[in-house]
Structure 1
Amino acid sequence: MALKAVIFDFDGTLADSLPLCVAAFRKTIEPLAGRVVSDAEVLATFGPSEEGTIMALVPQHFEQGLRDYHACYREMHYMCPAPFEGILRIIAYLKAKGLRTALVTGKGAVSLDISLEYLGLEGAFELIRTGIPTGLNKLTGLREVLEGFGISPTEALYIGDMPGDVTASREAGMPVCAAAWCPGTDAAALARERPDYLLDSVAELETLLRSLAGEEQSFPVETRKKI
């Protein structure tokens, strides 16, 4: 079957936003906790949405922490001034070809809206599924997008930068492209999950999508390929 939809992750896939997330969390949490919080402590809480991180590190200040985080995240977004070069062009190309676009991310809805507005990505995605406070929910999000578009798993491609993105795609029965173009991405960990595609640059992604958009049949799920 032909490719009909492309589903993107956000952090580390569309933009180098992880340093922003960590810095905003530290600026928020340290005054509330009364101590220095390391990057590693913040990163160890990732998986759930922002609510999960606040609950893990300063549960006694949850509501204030969440408000402060969103304010800091907006204020510090200069740390992530634009999407990766070529992302806007790719999305425009997909829309011009009539392919559906969606976003499935572990980010919370508020911070995602801030980023989409800041980066000029408002309206770029027909369907959006965000994270939840209690843990990973990529698989649920992917299945909801497939159902919303009324397509089969083999008619879509998910693009994400974490091993869990590959795992979720596999469980959903859909092909997956591992994005290894963000600084700090563990390409070796991605490779161990044997994604269908493992790409080092957005330029390679554009080449891949242009190729897939012109094919009569979708690529086989079991095939792993690197351009």
Structure 2
Amino acid sequence: MIKAVLFDLDGTLIDTNELIFNSFSHAFKSVLNMELPQKEITTMFGRPLKYSFEKYTQDKLEEMIHSYRSYNEERHDNMCFAFDGVKDMLGKLKEMGIKLAVVTSKRKVLAERGMKIAGIYEMFDIIVSPENTEKHKPEGEPALKACELLGVLPEEALMVGDSHLDILCGQNAGCKTCGVKYTTLQIKELEARKPDFFIDNPLDVISVIEEKAV
């Protein structure tokens, strides 16, 4: 029986895909004078920035992070929306008594800001961000931390995300996992991780919870 749902944030609950892509593109162009293809940039989605950038530079790592964050935060509030169906889905889960967590690689201050703009902040019991754990996605520690804070066992939790990193995080923690087919990332990579469930839209999470309750 599922007692808690752990959601990735960007690309799963809120649509910030264009903002994130543009922020990466800006950082690479302005600091390293590099123009990377979209497919390469999207592989970096969902990781803490340090791990995304260190492959390309060590000397200018902090400058890359600063460039990304400056561009991102300046435009964030105008490019941050809840996906259709997210608010209804979260409301139904609350009515069902399901505990809710966001497990994100985004800094807590910006995660909270985005959730408030999208109108979903008050629906969540906890937020687990990179500040809360030593290890990050795809390691299981963020999901385990969320389960600990919510007071549920990992096997009683469902991890939902748009990235293979989310699926691996849930699997490494011992949670059930659910991929979202509305991802803008490489769907084949998500499928290769063999999540327990796939959903076409946010409201489909309700059906997954009801199926596991049988």
TM-score range, shorter chain: 0.7 to 0.9
Aligned 1:38-57 pairs, distance under 5 A: 38-46=37-45, 48-57=47-56
3-state SS, counterpart of residue 66 of structure 1: helix
Question: What is the aligned partner in structure 1 of residue 200 from structure 2?
Answer: 200
Pairwise CA distance, 1:184:
4.6
Pairwise CA distance, 1:208:
3.1
Change (3 A) 1:117 1:58: farther
CA distance in structure 2 between the aligned counterparts of 1:200 and 1:128, rounded to whole angstroms: 24
CA distance in structure 2 between the aligned counterparts of 1:180 and 1:160, rounded to whole angstroms: 10
CA distance in structure 2 between the aligned counterparts of 1:163 and 1:35, rounded to whole angstroms: 26
Aligned 1:1-227 pairs, distance under 5 A: 2-46=1-45, 48-57=47-56, 59-77=58-76, 80-131=79-130, 136-186=137-187, 188-209=188-209, 211-212=210-211, 215=213
Pairwise CA distance, 1:79:
6.7
CA distance in structure 1 between the aligned counterparts of 2:53 and 2:140, rounded to whole angstroms: 23
C-alpha RMSD of the superposition: 3.0
Provide the TM-score with structure 2 as the length reference.
0.80
CA distance in structure 1 between the aligned counterparts of 2:170 and 2:32, rounded to whole angstroms: 37
1:86-106, Cα deviation, whole Å (9 max, x unpaired): 111111222233221001122
CA distance in structure 2 between the aligned counterparts of 1:57 and 1:72, rounded to whole angstroms: 19
3-state SS, counterpart of residue 106 of structure 1: coil
Q: Is the 8 Å Cα contact of residues 181 and 202 (structure 1) preserved in structure 2? A: no
Provide the TM-score with structure 1 as the length reference.
0.76
CA distance in structure 1 between the aligned counterparts of 2:158 and 2:43, rounded to whole angstroms: 28
Q: Is the 8 Å Cα contact of residues 138 and 165 (structure 1) preserved in structure 2? A: no
Name whichever of 107-116 and 36-45 sits farther off: 36-45
CA distance in structure 2 between the aligned counterparts of 1:111 and 1:171, rounded to whole angstroms: 26
CA distance in structure 1 between the aligned counterparts of 2:137 and 2:2, rounded to whole angstroms: 26
Pairwise CA distance, 1:185:
4.8
The runs of 5 or more residues in structure 1 that have no matched partner are 218-227
Number of residue equivalences: 212
CA distance in structure 2 between the aligned counterparts of 1:137 and 1:163, rounded to whole angstroms: 8
CA distance in structure 1 between the aligned counterparts of 2:71 and 2:53, rounded to whole angstroms: 13
Q: Is the 8 Å Cα contact of residues 73 and 111 (structure 1) preserved in structure 2? A: no
Rg comparison, structure with higher value: 1
CA distance in structure 1 between the aligned counterparts of 2:44 and 2:178, rounded to whole angstroms: 25
Name whichever of 198-207 and 125-134 sits farther off: 125-134
Pairwise CA distance, 1:48:
3.3
1:206 counterpart letter in structure 2: I
The runs of 5 or more residues in structure 2 that have no matched partner are none
3-state SS, counterpart of residue 93 of structure 1: helix
